[in-house]
Structure formats: C-alpha cells, structure tokens
Structure 1
Amino acid sequence: MIIAVDGPAASGKGTLSKRVAVHYALAYLDTGSLYRAVARDTVIAGGDPRDEDAAVAAAEKIDPDTLEDPGLRARGVGEAASIVAAHAKVRTALLAYQRSFAKQPAGAVIDGRDIGTVICPDATVKLFVTATPEERAHRRYLQLIDGGVQVTEDEVLADIRRRDERDQGREAAPLLKADDAHLLDTTNLSIDAAFKAAIDVIDAALGRTGSAS
C-alpha cells in the first residue's frame, strides 16, 4: 500500500503523513528532507544552490542517515531547498531513491510536491493537502517563533508565496494536484480533525470501515 501525500509548504502534510504512517504501520518518507539535505550539502561543499551542477553533485552523494539532521529545519535551508528542487537533474538524481523507498514489502507513506504525479503515479491512495497562504504562513510563523527565530508574519507570508510560485511554476515536476487525488483543505481544521478526515478518505478508498482513533 502506497499513500502519496502532496501539497504546498506548511499545509500540514508532514505532520499528517507521519500520523497516517503510524496508523497503518507503514514506513514514512518526507521527500522535502531530501531536497533540504541536497541544499545543505551543496552549501557545505562551497557551492551555490542556484548552480545545478553543484546541486546534482550533492544529490548523487546524498546520505539517507542524515535526513533527521535538526539543521534541515532552519528557515534558510527551506528556501535553498526550494531552489535546488527546481533543478530537473537534481529531481532525476533523487527519483530512484524515492521509488525504491515506496516499494517496501508493506508499502509506505510518502509526502512531497510530486509524489502522486511523478514519483508514485500508481499510488494506492493520493491526498493533496492544502490551506490558504495566510493560514500556512501563520502556522509557520508560530513554529519559527517557538523555535526562537525572530521574524514577522508578513515576512513568512512573503516567503510562502515565493515558494508557492517557484514550486508551481518550475518546469520539472511542478506542484500539481493529481487528477485522482483527494483534496484535503486544512485551513479550518485542527491536526486531529485533518487526521480523521485523511483516515476516512484512505479507508474508504481501501474499502474499509471505521475511523481514526
């Protein structure tokens, strides 16, 4: 069973995907961490995230064991990750790893921007998780403030809008809702409500009954 979860930055798809993975006892992969790691490693090597060749060199040497690095969640790394993710050759370099992860015996929950459209177009269930830019910016702002980062909500909203434009406008695997994906708008939902809605959709797709606990 492969569950593909796509959506824009700060839509709640990561938190939701982790809970879904636990619920169904499936492996979980946050593909955004792959691009964040590429951005981090590109900079560490002295390269520029805007330089496709430098980013590809980092992608080809990616170490999955470093994907839990807390430093990947830094605000600047997220912006750099959005830049390297726009490089077609970087996406190609990471394609095999993502597809291999999805093909584990029990299956997997994978979240990102192009899981249902490119990485796993034949996924068992596809979700597209979204929320208004203002709500997503508010959530990210609270996370940053809680982490001690001094920033204004307007700055975070501007950052969200830039990332949306880059993700949706890139030529290589742009952010799109797959035609057969279930839309889940979390603008007015708590994480618990969003989780229940997601489980209901997935169980219905699997022909199961019952709800999240």
Structure 2
Amino acid sequence: MIIAIDGPAASGKGTLAKRLAAHYGYRHLDTGAIYRAVAHALISRGADLGDEAAAVAAARGLDPQTLDDPALKSHQVGTAASVVSAYPEVREVLLNFQRQFAADPPGAVLDGRDIGTVICPNADVKIFVVADPEVRARRRTLEAQARGEAADEAAILADILARDERDRSRAVAPLKPAEDAYLLDNSHLDIEGGVRAAIDIIEAVRAGRREV
C-alpha cells in the first residue's frame, strides 16, 4: 500500500506520516528533505539559489544518507528548498527516486506537497493535511527555539504565507489536493488526534468506504 500525505509546511504532516509508517510497518520518506538537501548543498557551497544548473547538479549528486541531517530543518534551508523545488529539471531528477521508494515492498508513506498529484497519483490513500497559517507559524517557532535558534514568529508567518503562495502558483507541481484526497485539518488537533483521524481515513479506504 502507498499512502500519500500532502499539505503545506508545518501543518504536522511530517510527524503524522512517520507515525502512520510505524503503525502499519511501512517505510517513510519525507520528500521535502530531498529538496532541503539540495538547497543545503547549494548554501554550503556558497552557490546562488537562482543558479538552476547548480541546483540540478546538486540534485544529481544527492546522497540519501544526508536526509537525516538536522541542518536540513533550519528555517533558512526550508525557505531555500522552496526556491530550488520550483525548477522543473530538479523535480524531474528527483522524481524517479521517489517513485522507486514508493514501489518497494512492504509499503510506503510519503509526505510532501505533490505526492498524490504528481509523484504517486495512483496511491491507495491520499490525505491532504492543512492547518491555519498562524498555528503553523507558532509550531515552526517552537521547533526553532527547541533547536536553540532565535525565531521571530511574525517573520516566520510572513515567510509561510509567501511560500504557500509561491508553491500554489508555480507552473510545475503546484501545491493542491488531489481530486480524490481526503482533507485533514489538524489546526486544533494534537499529534495523537491527527494520527487517529488519519488511521480512520485509511481504514475506511481499506474497507471500501468513501465516507469516514
């Protein structure tokens, strides 16, 4: 089974996807980490984020072992990832990696922004996770502070709104729910509530029910 978890950054989809993978015994891939790794590689080299050729080269040289690097979680890298992910050739280079991961047994949970629409359009279950921008900004601020980083919540909110608009309006793989995706709003749910809601959706699909 392939489970696609999509939605905007800091909506809680990453933690949700990990918990679902553990619950079902599936493998998990944070596809956003792939783009953050490419962005981090450019930043580390002092390359211009506007240099598409450099971004493509970084994507081709991606080392999957770097996807758990804590440095990829920084606000700077996340913002840069939104820039490099808009390059069509970067997305093309990374497309096969993601599809192969999804296809390998015993099953997979992938989270990102275009899993159900582009990467795995035939996923067995598609869930689009959302949360109010203010809630997401607060979560991102707390995450940064937990890492010992200074965080301006107002600036983070402004960046979230700008990134959402950029990702929704990009020509390639815009941020949007698949037509057959289930919407899960976890603005007012803790992680346990979100996991229970997602499992209810998955089990309904497995039982052949559309309504949850």
RMSD value over aligned CA atoms?
A: 1.2
CA distance in 1, matches of 2:42, 2:103: 28
Deviation at 1:97, TM superposition (A): 0.2
**Corresponding residue number in structure 2 for 1:192:** 192
Q: Which runs of 5+ in 2 are unaligned?
A: none
Query: Does 2:28 match 1:36?
Result: no
What is the number of residues matched between the two proteins? 209
CA distance in 2, matches of 1:192, 1:147: 23
**Corresponding residue number in structure 2 for 1:20:** 20
- The correspondence of residues 1-213 of structure 1 with structure 2, limited to 5 A, is 1-207=1-207
CA distance in 2, matches of 1:8, 1:25: 25
CA distance in 1, matches of 2:149, 2:155: 12
Deviation at 1:192, TM superposition (A): 0.5
TM superposition outliers: structure 1 runs of 4+ over 6 Å: none
1:59-108 Cα offsets, whole Å, 9 max, x none, are 01100011111111111111111110111110001000000000012120
TM-score (structure 1 length as normaliser): 0.95
Q: Structure 1 vs Structure 2: percent identity of aligned residues?
A: 56
Provide the secondary structure at the position in 2 that maps to 1:67: helix
Amino acid in structure 1 at the alignment position of 2:178: A
Q: Which runs of 5+ in 1 are unaligned?
A: none
